[in-house]
Amino acid sequence: MDELPIGRRVAYWRGRRKMSQQVFADRLGKSKSWVDKVERGVRRLDKFSVLYEIADILQVDVQLLMGKDPERRTDALNCIDQVEVQEIRAALERYDSMSAYFDAAPYPPPLVDLRKAVNHAWLTYQYGRYGMLTRALPKLLRDAQAADAGHSGDDPAREAAHLLGQVYQIASSVLRKLGECELAWLAADRSMAVAQRADDPLLAGIATTRVCNAMAAMGRSRPALELNVTIANRLAPGGGNDPTPARLSVYGMLLLQGAMAAARLGDSATVDDLLTGAGEAATLLGGDHNHYWTSFGPTNLELHRAAAAVELGDGGRAVEIHRQRIQEPSFNALLPERRAHHLLDISRGFAQVGDVANAGEMLLRGDRLAPSEIRCRPIAHEVMSDVLRRTRGAPPPPIAELAEHMGVGV
């Protein structure tokens, strides 16, 4: 990126923001022809006032457009910035295991230290602290890759692969939430390959859900549905598969993610079938647990039931599930990311039925639980834009304040 002409950098970030040249030109008050000439390098960008305006529209640091490292903002604690995106990308592009094939690393990181770091990263994710996590991910990826490449012997090698597989899953999960879907898919795909070397079918199973989530986010819901169901069938309790809590959790999450993919396809019959199967697994599990960092159980099942209703366009059903089927003590026992994610889904449900006041209230509640889940996710920005557009008169001060924090115009 640093070696690109400034016009190419503008084109790159415009593409990342999914803006057409016409939309970008309209926001900038220029012609489409002007934008095209800038991006092709025919017209120079030599006015700082225009550069700053472009950076503001593209929501990037002006230094990044100029090919320089931007200063870290002390107020941007909740969201990923472009520095972290590039650092995570660079870490994912490393191939330590291939290098170690020729020249093994002499001092791989101790597994006991890496294990603690991975557990901390999972909790950081599940508490919705995405900014903190994305700043730590590049080093964690490098350390886990080095450990995987440098540890020998059956047990240490398997544990190192297991930990690396988890780090790839963490990276995939947070990148998908923040709209970096292609990087999320790359990290998830790596996690599946590493899980096979770790010789852990359940790790491979939960890695499958990360791959399918990334695929669905990129509009590939059909293969996501098929892959989730295929691997769920392989891991289903019964036969030679003991119904351990960990297996029930992974199996249940595969069915839930399959249901979400089916909902995006508008296949309500398959949604119902998969939710029924997940419900049976949740009943056998007997409560909400966090095996393999799944947060699977009866409450999470209902959260996915509501989310699937939203994807099917039935916001009224989602609101009904939220009000009648989700018990407050069980819901409050879930980790912040799960709860805030659900409130974002219910906000979408209220918006679908035209209740923008409650849609805004759900965003506010989610923001109090896990600000990054609301302020940083593209889907939350879409909901907030809808709330503002459909609110008669000036929005309530708390909504206006949150919209300002999110960078959504009032």
- DSSP one-letter string for 105-140: -SSPPPHHHHHHHHHHHHHHHHTT-HHHHHHHHHHH
Are residues 106 and 27 part of one domain?
Answer: no
Are residues 140 and 42 part of one domain?
Answer: no
Are residues 124 and 53 part of one domain?
Answer: no
Q: What is the mean pLDDT of residues 181-190?
A: 93
Residue among 145, 142, 124 at smallest CA distance from 133: 124
Residues in contact with 368: Cβ distance below 8 Å, sequence separation at least 6, in sequence order: none
Q: How many residues does the chain have?
A: 410
Are residues 102 and 20 part of one domain?
Answer: no
Residues 208, 231 contacting (CB under 8 angstroms): yes
**Encoded amino acid at 7, one letter:** G
Are residues 152 and 57 part of one domain?
Answer: no
Residue 342 lies in domain: 335-410
Residues 60, 13 contacting (CB under 8 angstroms): yes
pLDDT of residue 73: 43
Out of 199, 215, 239, a domain closes at 199
Q: What is the mean pLDDT of residues 378-395?
A: 93
pLDDT band for position 4 (50/70/90)? Answer: low
User: Within a domain: residue 167?
Assistant: yes
182 dihedral zone (left: phi>0; alpha: psi -120 to 50; beta):
alpha
Judge whether residue 156 has pLDDT over 60. yes
pLDDT tens readout for residues 199-233: 999 999 999 999 999 999 999 999 999 999 999 99
pLDDT tens readout for residues 317-343: 999 999 999 999 999 999 999 999 999
User: Within a domain: residue 408?
Assistant: yes
Are residues 85 and 47 part of one domain?
Answer: no
Q: Within 10 Å of residue 266's Cβ, how many Cβ atoms? A: 12
If one compares 261 and 2, the residue with the highest pLDDT of the two is: 261
User: Within a domain: residue 113?
Assistant: yes
Are residues 125 and 52 part of one domain?
Answer: no
Judge whether residue 358 has pLDDT over 60. yes
Are residues 403 and 352 part of one domain?
Answer: yes
pLDDT tens readout for residues 275-320: 999 999 999 999 999 999 999 999 999 999 999 999 999 999 999 9
Are residues 186 and 86 part of one domain?
Answer: yes
If one compares 46 and 308, the residue with the highest pLDDT of the two is: 308
Residues in contact with 93: Cβ distance below 8 Å, sequence separation at least 6, in sequence order: none
Cross-strand pairs, 241: 238
User: Within a domain: residue 61?
Assistant: yes
User: Within a domain: residue 179?
Assistant: yes
Residue among 156, 171, 166 at smallest CA distance from 110: 156
Report the alpha-carbon distance of residue 306 to residue 326 in Å, rounded.
10
Counting Cα atoms < 13 Å in the Cβ hemisphere of 410 gives: 15
Q: What is the mean pLDDT of residues 116-128?
A: 95
- Phi and psi at 238, nearest 5°, equal 115, 165
DSSP H helices in 127-267: 130-150, 154-177, 181-198, 201-217, 221-235, 245-264
Are residues 410 and 367 part of one domain?
Answer: yes
User: Within a domain: residue 293?
Assistant: no
Are residues 141 and 99 part of one domain?
Answer: yes
User: Within a domain: residue 163?
Assistant: yes
For the chain, what is the mean pLDDT? 89
User: Within a domain: residue 280?
Assistant: no
Dihedral, 73, 76, 79, 83 alpha carbons, nearest 10: 0
DSSP helix/strand/coil, 3: coil
pLDDT of residue 96: 59
pLDDT of residue 47: 78
* 275 alpha-carbon distance from chain centroid: 22
Are residues 189 and 92 part of one domain?
Answer: yes
pLDDT tens readout for residues 65-121: 777 655 444 334 447 666 677 788 888 877 655 554 444 555 788 999 999 999 999
Sign of CA dihedral 178, 184, 185, 191: negative
Residues in contact with 53: Cβ distance below 8 Å, sequence separation at least 6, in sequence order: 28
Q: What is the mean pLDDT of residues 31-46?
A: 88
User: What is the tally of structural domains in the chain?
Assistant: 3
pLDDT of residue 76: 41
Please give the angle made by the CA atoms of 216, 221 and 222, to the nearest 5 degrees.
150
**Encoded amino acid at 293, one letter:** W
Q: What is the CATH number of the domain that holds 36?
A: 1.10.260.40
Specify the residue for token string 């440098």. 150
Judge whether residue 60 has pLDDT over 80. no
